[in-house]
Amino acid sequence: MGRVPNVTRADLAQAVRNPLAFIAERWTPTQRTVQRAAFLSLAMTVVIVVTGGAVRLTGSGLGCPTWPKCTEDSLTATSEMGFHGAVEFGNRMLTYVLCAAVGWAIIAARAQKPMRRSLTRLGWAQFWLVMGNAVLGGIVVLVGLNPYTVAAHFLLSSALIAVAAVMWQRTREGDGEPRPLVGKAVAQLVWFLVAASVLLIAVGTVVTGAGPHAGDSSDVPRMNLAPVGLDWEGVTKLHAVLAWIVVTLTFALWFVLKAVDAPRGPLARTRDLFLILLAQGAIGYVQYFTELPEVLVGLHMFGSCLVWIAVLRVLLSLRERPLPTAEVPAQADDSQLSAV
């Protein structure tokens, strides 16, 4: 059993004033630990999006009819609320798990030596996005699942995924000036791909907001598309057209990268995106022609998260920031921490 370090009053005062600095002075995580913490944060973000979709697809959106409590008299779901209350309350509880994952990523980034402010800022950006989305989720409940607020809830989750994906990538890079791996024309093509993907995701929220899955067994109003001359069928077809544009841009990018003999990284990331898009498109068409079964809609939501992450990975693969050749060794890895 390892020796327990002496903890003075000054140490306790420092821990209260600045707990992150207190931890950083006594522990240095390995590079792999920081990478795993960032990946866990990204994975939990995807999980919270998918489980949020499950709340909608099971008709549990108002399983807890108020917020921040589950009912007027209880913080938690009660047995009388049944399955829908358990599903909605379970999704709310996963927010705390996500907060813990983001907190772990912040701690690991802050404790890394030398400290990388870019990583800690990305971690704190995730934290504030989670807090903002939690408040927005409460508003969604309080306004009775208004489809516009539900769409905003998903879009803010997509922003959270973007920040988490960037942080995960940055944990595997250094802090030097990025060196481009492709020409300016190729980079512009990728930015067109990113813009088309953002439009695809945004229109996807409209398809959901105007479609039959309202998130509750009651008659929740859907998005009114009449002012723009569209109905649900029309906006669904627009979504499909945007999907084909993204697929076409991805294939064109892969062809251009092969033509210019680009490095392996951008080629591999583009290939991964193309395969994910094909799978996502297949699910989309099957769910459309089978009248939107809940399981396929849930898979499509999961696929949208993977598509967005894959698009961002393509963008981030266009440059490199090599890690320093000599890194500061960790003071102690997780497996080497002294037992208390």
**Mean pLDDT split into 10-residue runs, the chain, 340 residues:** 54 63 84 95 95 86 84 82 86 93 94 89 96 92 87 93 96 88 94 96 88 70 70 85 96 94 93 95 89 87 95 95 59 41
* pTM over cut 0.85: yes
Asked if residue 87 and residue 25 are part of one domain, the reply reads: yes
pLDDT (0 to 100) of residue 21 = 79
Please answer whether residues 260 and 284 qualify as being in contact, where contact means their C-beta atoms are separated by less than 8 angstroms.
no
Its domain, for residue 166, covers 18-172
Count of CB atoms within 10 A of residue 1's CB?
6
Asked if residue 125 and residue 146 are part of one domain, the reply reads: yes
pLDDT (0 to 100) of residue 329 = 45
| Residue 159, domain member (yes or no) | yes
pLDDT (0 to 100) of residue 325 = 58
Please answer whether residues 67 and 141 qualify as being in contact, where contact means their C-beta atoms are separated by less than 8 angstroms.
yes
d(CA 151, CA 22): 40
Name the one residue in this structure whose structure tokens are 């989309």.
284
Q: CA end-to-end span of the chain, whole Å?
A: 8
| Residue 81, domain member (yes or no) | yes
Of 170, 164, 162, nearest to 320 by C-alpha is 170
Asked if residue 149 and residue 190 are part of one domain, the reply reads: no
pLDDT (0 to 100) of residue 13 = 56
Compute the Cα dihedral for 127, 132, 136, 142 and give only its sign.
Answer: positive
Last residue of a domain, one of 148, 172, 196: 172
d(CA 319, CA 340): 44
Asked if residue 304 and residue 216 are part of one domain, the reply reads: yes
d(CA 277, CA 271): 10
